[in-house]
Amino acid sequence: MAAAPTTHRTHVVVVGSGATGLTAALTASLRGLDVLVTEKASTYGGTSAISGGVMWLPRDAESAVTTYLQHHSGDRTEPEKITAFVETAPRMLAELGETGCLLVEPFPSFPDYQADTPGGSAGGRSVEPKVFAAAKLGREFERQRSGTALAPAGIVGTMAELHTLARVRSQPTELRKVWRVAPRTVWNKIARRRYVANGVSLVAQLRFGLLTRGIPLWLDTELVELLHVDGRVTGVRVRRDGELVDVVAAVGVILTAGGFERDASMRREYRLPVADVDATSGVDTNTGDAIKAGIAIGADVGHMDRAWWAPTFMPPGEPPRICIFERGKPGFVIVDARGNRYANEAQPYGTFVEAMLEAHRTTGAAIPSFMVFDQRYRSRYPFYRWLPGRTPQRYLDNGFITRADTLAELAQAMGIDPDGLEATVERFNQMALTGVDVDFARGDQSFDRYAGDSSVTPNPCLAPLAEPPFYAVRLHPGDLGTCGGLAVDEHARVIDRHGRPIPGLYAAGNTAASPLGGFYPGAGGTIGPNMTFGYIAACHAAAQVQPAPTPR
């Protein structure tokens, strides 16, 4: 006979330890509630810890932000959710900053991904975590999830700094703007100070906040089911170190355990256009456990056929890595197996993959696609994890990148139609000289130009492919995670199949159906809204306590 579960009691249990869950936990604690965070993996941080860490958290005129979001979300979400996000995001960011839980700096020049549409902004709506001394966490930092570094050669820099570094070969004077990167990186190597940036810093700062406030975090703790009595969720049953534990939550349960990107059966069931799990950047524990638990007690779902798409490199023997910095720079094209371009290569990653999927539906030739560039591009810009000019031999040997003296030889080696590729490059080179991409308008949008190289004229996104040797790398339709999940209202309460809130149950992050209707508004377009709704969930839960606790 199986042993009965042991019992643990708290006010709020947060399932999942990414940025959303840690934000929810801190928010509830700041309102006087006892909080427990549980995490399925043996490390904390989830996908947030291996991300760029940028957060889309607009602080400008609410009317403009609302116009922008409503223009693109359409009828895929309720206006109340947009209003809740727009009104709450600045308050959440301010509270985390004022309490020392998260220090950020602006990303002033980064435009919205659709900056040239109604309500869009040419910059200032994204923020990113400041560089953080992870030594403050002591041994606890060793339990944080780690992944492939975003920057090559061990460079420790914010995303703004990395963006500047990506063009210093063509604009050497830009180096003075990022002088702090060098001593920080050297100090890390010689003194092992462990300065961290990007998503590593985001999660480390929030984790430090939990430690400071004494909030427990249980690792290796898998969600088994939701506990509920008379329609109200009263806690969770988890498996911790092989033993069942019933965590009774007097106030509420907040589910922030990521999406279902690593569950191939769910991807097929909900008809995601790409069922393969190999090209996702989501962590291996994101198998939809919290979503399944909600469905099991009658929760509704939404946007389950959508994902946060991103063109993705798949180097042999290494984790997939999304193609971010590489696609804005001049001097390359992306083609299908026929050698044809099919989209503006510099557009935001989500819309580019949508174009890839549509091209493949039409031609059957766009998956994988091929990024083709010349030696001038390779000499000027970082690529994958490599500094400009350096192409490690082992990646040539294992077939991740292919190099050839002519375009025809390159095409034959990659399985691209040689005549098609040569014709495409010839046409592209002519357009690059004029500065006008008459086929796909590359360089016409604010986001394109930001990602380009301003030293290149007349179009910072266009330059001929003319200097041999030539290179090619395969691109796959990957994702950052799924954006469908449990249906929620503007208070982050989970909704049942009859449209009613389930008492005691909240969801945020990729466990919840995207509150912005699957629209990716700008840099940090998942992390910022997700953290905000984690905050909203904790605030609403705390407000149900009578009398309401005062912040401590």
**Which amino acid type is present at position 75?**
D
C-alpha 78/C-alpha 76 separation (Å) is: 7
Torsion 52-53-59-65 (CA) sign: positive
Q: Give the pLDDT band of residue 390 (cuts 50, 70, 90).
A: confident
| Residue 383 reports pLDDT greater than 90 | yes
Q: Give the pLDDT band of residue 173 (cuts 50, 70, 90).
A: low
pLDDT of residue 283: 96
Average pLDDT, the chain: 93
pLDDT of residue 324: 85
Which tens digit of pLDDT belongs to each residue from 61-73? 999 999 999 999 9
C-alpha 177/C-alpha 464 separation (Å) is: 29
Which tens digit of pLDDT belongs to each residue from 393-447? 999 999 999 999 999 999 999 999 999 999 999 999 999 999 999 999 999 999 9
Q: Give the pLDDT band of residue 376 (cuts 50, 70, 90).
A: very high
C-alpha 543/C-alpha 431 separation (Å) is: 59
Contact 501, 233 (CB under 8 A): no
Mean pLDDT of 9-30: 98
Which tens digit of pLDDT belongs to each residue from 226-271? 999 999 999 999 999 899 999 999 999 999 999 999 999 999 999 9
C-alpha 98/C-alpha 115 separation (Å) is: 30
| Residue 206 reports pLDDT greater than 80 | yes
pLDDT of residue 167: 65
pLDDT of residue 124: 93
| Residue 465 reports pLDDT greater than 90 | yes
- Percent of the chain at pLDDT > 70 equals 90
Which domains can be identified in the chain, with CATH numbers? 1-306+484-552 (3.50.50.60), 310-479 (3.90.700.10)
Q: Give the pLDDT band of residue 165 (cuts 50, 70, 90).
A: low
Mean pLDDT of 474-498: 97
Burial class of residue 394, CB neighbours in 10 A (0-12, 13-18, 19+): exposed
Mean pLDDT of 312-334: 94
Number of neighbours of residue 89 by Cβ within 10 angstroms = 25
Which tens digit of pLDDT belongs to each residue from 507-552? 999 999 999 999 999 999 999 999 999 999 999 999 998 655 555 5
Listed residue (423, 342, 302, 325) closest to 383, CA to CA: 325
pLDDT of residue 149: 66
